[in-house]
Amino acid sequence: MKKRIFLWLFFLLAAAVITWKLYSNKKELETEAELSKVARAFVPVEVTRPQMETLANTLQADGIFLPVKEMFVISETAGRVLETYKNKGEWVTEGDLIAKVDDELLRIELEATQANLAKLRKDQERLANLIEGEAAPKNKIEDLQLGLLAAEAKEKGLKKQIANTSIKAPMTGTMGLRFIERGSVIGPGIQVAQITNLEKLFLMIKVTERDVLNIRKGQIVKVIPDVYPDAQVIGKVTNIGLRADNAFNYDVEIEVPNPKNTPMRAGMHAKAMFTFDANRQGLTLPRKAIAGSLQEAKVYVVVQDSLVEVRTIRVGGVYHDKVEVLSGLQQQDQVVVTGQLNLSDGAKVQVLR
């Protein structure tokens, strides 16, 4: 009996010790958490101020290549495809036969129309002789001439329809897609193929409202493809957008030749390097101060010495490791350049001197 009481007392004592230890560990973790909060109450950051600088007379803009010529081949006839003559990936020259559509019924109708046309011409000749001999009234020939004109118009229309059954390439280039096969049934307006010519490319870029004023149609531009960073292609500005997009940027179109030794394809990216005649003053900020993309640029500005606020800014051109600030900042603003990952709007900071 005493032994059983002793065992119960031992278990109770052990449970009490374990409970006290768990409680002690919990209090210690809570204390560490509070200390951690205190340590993190102020996020250490480095700041800088926007600088008014003389901007270089150059501009760099990223863009994407598009084909100068690209066209869908559209059917102008209806019927069953008898044969296809070009496959995907083949080079085609303007006027090459791509496919042939069944034209048997059209040819039968053309033969009947031509036979009727020959009869009407014979009738016209005979009637003219009768009128000349005053054996028939002159007004009879008018109806015959109208019938003759209608038959000639129908003949021309049938010949055009028959010509349309031979589907030909409208331009020179590579057939990137073909949407029909032998035995397919097509109708007017159906896409037959797509032809793309990559002998020349357009580099489409976007520039700010300030930079677009310095760009001129016909201006020579250095283009550096991303896939060939050591190569350089000379392009020419062929078109400048007349209207800005929602981000107040303007489209600029640069035509470049496609070198055979460094061939490029539509959809590849490149940089356009502009050189202007005059320098100008502008407010700049280090690129690393921008939180997010340049299209939706945001920065953290220190206010009241120890708080930060998120501020949306509008940026212009990129000049190496700096960007031009068009609006949203003043020269006296303190902008965070390091430590943004740990910040949020209204966070407390400690500026490192």
Query: What string of DSSP letters covers 189-258?
Result: T-EEEEEEEEEEEEEEEEEETTGGGG--TT-EEEEEETT-TT--EEEEEEEE-SS--TTSEEEEEEEEE-
Residues 213 and 137 occupy one common structural domain: no
Q: Is the residue at 149 inside a domain?
A: yes
CATH number of residue 210's parent domain: 2.40.30.170
Q: How far is CA 188 from the centre of its chain?
A: 29
Q: What does the pLDDT look like over 78-97, one tens digit per residue?
A: 999 999 999 999 999 999 99
**Are the beta carbons of 46 and 336 closer than 8 angstroms?**
yes
Domain membership of residue 29 (yes or no) is no
264 neighbors 66 (Cβ within 8 angstroms)? no
Q: DSSP per residue over 301-342, as a string?
A: EEETTTEEEEEE-EEEEEETTEEEEEES--TT-EEEEE-GGG
Number of domains in the chain: 3
Please check whether residues 274 and 205 belong to one and the same domain: yes
Domain contains 249: yes
Reported as a single tens digit per residue, the pLDDT across 313-322 is 988 777 778 8
Examine the domain organization and report whether 146 and 184 are in the same domain: yes
Residue at which a domain ends, from 164, 192, 220? 192
Q: Look at residues 261, 279, 297 and tell me which one is the last residue of a structural domain.
A: 279
Question: 98 with 157, same domain?
Answer: yes
Which residues have a Cβ under 8 Å from the Cβ of 228 and sit 6 or more positions away?
A: 262, 264
Rounded to whole angstroms, the Cα distance separating 121 from 102 reads 30
Q: What is the CATH number of the domain that holds 328?
A: 2.40.420.20
The one-character DSSP state at 70 is: E
Say whether both 329 and 288 belong to one domain: yes
Residues 340 and 240 occupy one common structural domain: no
Question: Which of 222, 251, 279 delimits the end of a domain?
Answer: 279
Is the same domain home to 205 and 64?
A: yes
Would 13 be classed as within a structural domain? Answer: no
Kindly state whether residues 183 and 201 are assigned to the same domain. no
Phi, psi of 13 (to 5 degrees): -65, -40
Joined tokens for residue 137? 């009234």
Mark whether 289 and 203 lie in a shared domain. Answer: no
On whether residue 178 sits in a domain, the answer given is: yes
Domain extent at residue 308: 43-55+281-351
SS3 call for 47: strand
Sequence-distant (6+) residues with CB within 8 A of 302 are: 45, 47, 308, 334, 335, 336, 349, 351
188 with 229, same domain? no
Report the CATH number that the domain containing residue 133 is assigned in CATH: 2.40.50.100
CB 55 within 8 A of CB 280: yes
Closest CA to 189 of 210, 206, 156, 167: 167
- Residue 12 within any structural domain of the chain: no
Cβ-contact 65, 271 below 8 angstroms:
no
User: Could you give phi then psi for residue 25, rounded to 5 degrees?
Assistant: -65, -40
Same domain, 188 and 74: yes
**Co-location of 95 and 180 in the same domain:** yes
pLDDT at 67: 95
d(CA 120, CA 115): 9
130 φψ region: left (φ > 0), alpha (ψ -120 to 50), beta (else): alpha
For residue 327, tell me if it sits in a domain. Answer: yes
For residue 105, tell me if it sits in a domain: yes
Show pLDDT as tens, one digit a residue, over the chain (353 residues).
Answer: 555 666 566 666 666 667 766 677 766 666 555 544 444 568 888 889 999 888 777 888 999 999 999 999 999 999 999 999 999 999 999 999 999 999 999 999 999 999 999 988 888 887 777 766 665 666 667 777 888 899 999 999 999 999 999 999 999 999 999 999 999 999 999 999 999 999 999 999 999 887 888 899 999 999 999 999 999 999 999 999 999 988 889 999 999 999 988 999 999 999 999 988 666 788 999 988 898 887 788 999 998 878 889 999 988 777 778 888 888 999 999 999 988 888 888 888 888 87
The pTM of the whole model exceeds 0.95: no
